[in-house]
């Protein structure tokens, strides 16, 4: 297909006799965000390493920016930018020096270099800290600097390996808006994440990696339709109360061991109030009431029958 930025078919990769990728097929259209979702050890970084020519595949075909990673690695490298899971920032250099180093390493016109550095510092809100050594940066600042360094050569395809793991909510949102800005400029993003909400926020398409295979692929909405939605969890003190409550909410599922009832709902205040009113009408009260939105564990349980823990 002409406008596919990444096309992978039958990708296999093993470390000695440990098979990590067992036949992966995926396609990423140019100018879109593709998110590879999976728990620790699923093979996300391995996939990124193969797609970015850092590792050789054992089998299958991988084309990035129209070039084969096995035979045209140089052309692939010229088209892509990679922000690895662990920051490539040099701790001893300042933010500005780290960026300047990337400019010097790239073959761009030297006279533009200073402006490129200044623009990136500005765009990533790092101007103030520009002269300080990167060792003094927070995790979020380091991540931003790392991504800024990736952008130096204006790559059209960018790989981000867990760009927000360990970041606080504010830094995560900053990263998200940076990614959205890149996509608006027509850049293709291949992103790995352990967060369902991140894939939901950013991705046009999501694939779920489990034990070497993609167990689901589609738009975030298609994926969410396959997993249990938002629900309200009520915990009672006696089995008798649980049974009584289960009778008044026919769509609910009871967990007798936990004395808990799972009532499907949209998480809004209206449905919550209606639920509490129903309990009141029947003179029932719950020990605990929590609103639960689906997370990676729910996805895995629904798609694979096991949790992320068991996937390791
Ligand atoms: N160089 C290596 N040699 C041997 N085994 C490896 C190597 N790199 C990764 N593995 C194994 O391959 C599997 C997949 O690892 P990978 O780093 O791709 O997972 P991941 O999805 O990126 O996990 P995380 O979320 O923890 O970053 C793991 O079981 C890991 O132990
Ligand atoms: Mg990884």
Same-domain status, 153 and 49: yes
Distance of CA 78 from the midpoint of ligand 2 (Å): 23
State whether 220 and 146 are in the same domain. yes
Give the ligand whose atoms come closest to the C-alpha of residue 49: 1
Mutational pocket test of ligand 1: of 12, 39, 46, 50, the residue with most ligand atoms within 8 Å of the beta carbon = 46
Atom of ligand 1 nearest to the CA of 42: 21
CA-312 nearest atom, ligand 1 = 29
> If you measure from the C-alpha of residue 37 to the centroid of ligand 1, how many angstroms do you get, rounded to a whole number?
14
Specify the ligand 1 atom closest to the Cα of 47.
18
> Which domain, by its residues, includes 246?
231-292
- 61 with 67: CB under 8 angstroms? no
Could you report how far apart the first and last alpha carbons of the chain are, in Å?
35
Whole-number Å distance, alpha carbon 15 to ligand 1 midpoint, is: 9
Q: Which of 178, 200, 225 is the last residue of a domain?
A: 225
CATH number at residue 58: 3.40.50.300
Q: Count the domains in the chain.
A: 2
Tell how far the Cα of 22 is from the centroid of ligand 2, in angstroms: 17
Summarised one tens digit per residue, pLDDT across range 172-209 is 998 899 999 999 999 999 999 988 889 989 999 999 99
Helix axes 169-184, 139-150, angle to 10 degrees: 10
Whole-number Å distance, alpha carbon 217 to ligand 1 midpoint, is: 21
pLDDT value of residue 1: 46
151 and 209 in a single domain? The answer is: yes
Is 297 among the domain residues?
Answer: no
- Is there a single domain that holds both residue 141 and residue 209? yes
CA of 269 to the centre of ligand 1 (A): 42
In a domain, 119, yes or no: no
Q: In CATH, what number is assigned to the domain containing residue 239?
A: 3.30.70
Whole-number pLDDT of residue 134: 95
**55 CA from centroid of ligand 1 (Å):** 13
Pair 41, 164 in one domain: yes
Instruction: Say if residue 143 is in the same domain as residue 285.
Output: no
Task: Give pLDDT, residue 307.
Answer: 67
What is the pLDDT tens value at each position of the chain, 312 positions in all? 458 999 999 999 999 999 999 999 999 999 999 999 988 889 999 999 999 999 999 999 999 999 999 999 999 999 999 988 877 889 899 999 999 988 888 766 666 888 999 999 998 899 999 999 999 998 889 989 999 999 998 899 999 999 998 888 888 998 899 999 999 999 999 999 988 889 989 999 999 998 899 999 999 888 877 776 778 999 999 999 999 999 999 888 898 999 999 898 877 888 889 999 999 999 999 999 998 877 767 777 777 777 666 544
Burial of residue 144 (number of CB atoms within 10 Å: 0-12, 13-18, 19+): buried
Whole-structure pTM value: 0.82
Asked whether residue 127 is assigned to any structural domain, the reply reads no
In the DSSP assignment, the letter for residue 148 is: H
Residue with the nearest Cα to atom 28 of ligand 1? 41
Binding-site residues, ligand 1, Cβ < 6 A = 15, 20, 38, 40-46, 85, 194
Nearest CA to ligand 1 atom 2: 15
- Is residue 163 within 8 Å of residue 143, measured between CB atoms? yes
Q: Are residues 36 and 62 in the same domain?
A: yes
Atom of ligand 1 minimally distant from the CA of 194: 25
Do 221 and 235 lie in a common domain?
no
Q: Give the model's pLDDT for residue 298.
A: 74
**265 and 186 fall within a common domain:** no
Ligand with the closest atom to the CA of 161:
2
Nearest to 23 by CA among 213, 303, 173: 213
H-only helix segments in the chain? 44-51, 73-79, 95-105, 113-123, 139-150, 169-184, 196-202, 220-225, 239-248, 269-281, 296-304, 308-311
Residues 83 and 193 in one domain: yes
Q: Counting Cβ atoms within 10 Å, is residue 196 exposed (0-12), middle (13-18) or buried (19+)?
A: buried
């Amino acid at each position: 297909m002409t406008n596919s930025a990444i096309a992978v078919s039958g990708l296999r990769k093993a470390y000695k006799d440990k098979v990590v990728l067992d036949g992966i097929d995926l396609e990423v259209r140019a100018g879109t965000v593709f998110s590879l979702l999976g728990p620790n050890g699923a093979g996300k970084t391995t996939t990124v390493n193969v797609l970015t020519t850092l590792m050789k595949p054992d089998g299958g075909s991988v084309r990035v920016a129209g070039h084969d990673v096995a035979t045209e690695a140089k052309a692939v490298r010229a088209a892509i930018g990679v922000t690895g899971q662990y920051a490539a920032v040099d701790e001893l250099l300042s933010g500005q020096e780290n960026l300047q180093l990337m400019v010097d390493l790239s073959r761009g016109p030297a006279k533009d270099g200073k402006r490129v550095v200044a623009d990136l510092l500005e765009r990533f809100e790092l101007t103030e800290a520009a002269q300080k050594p990167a060792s003094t940066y927070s995790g979020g600042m380091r991540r931003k600097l790392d991504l800024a360094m990736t952008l130096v050569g204006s790559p059209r395809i960018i790989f981000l390996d867990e760009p927000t793991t360990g970041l606080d909510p504010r830094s995560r949102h900053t990263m998200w808006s940076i990614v959205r800005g890149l996509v608006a400029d027509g850049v293709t993003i291949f992103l790995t994440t352990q967060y369902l909400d991140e894939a939901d926020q950013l991705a046009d398409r999501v694939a779920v990696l489990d034990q070497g295979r993609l167990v689901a692929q589609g738009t975030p909405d298609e994926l969410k339709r396959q997993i249990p939605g938002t629900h309200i969890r009520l915990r009672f003190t006696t089995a008798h109360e649980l049974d009584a409550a289960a009778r008044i909410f026919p769509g609910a599922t009871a967990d007798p061991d936990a004395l808990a009832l799972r009532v499907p709902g949209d998480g809004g205040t209206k449905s919550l109030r209606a639920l509490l009113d129903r309990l009141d009408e029947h003179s029932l009260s719950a020990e605990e009431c929590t609103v639960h939105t689906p997370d990676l564990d729910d996805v895995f349980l629904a798609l694979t029958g096991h949790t992320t823990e068991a996937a390791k």
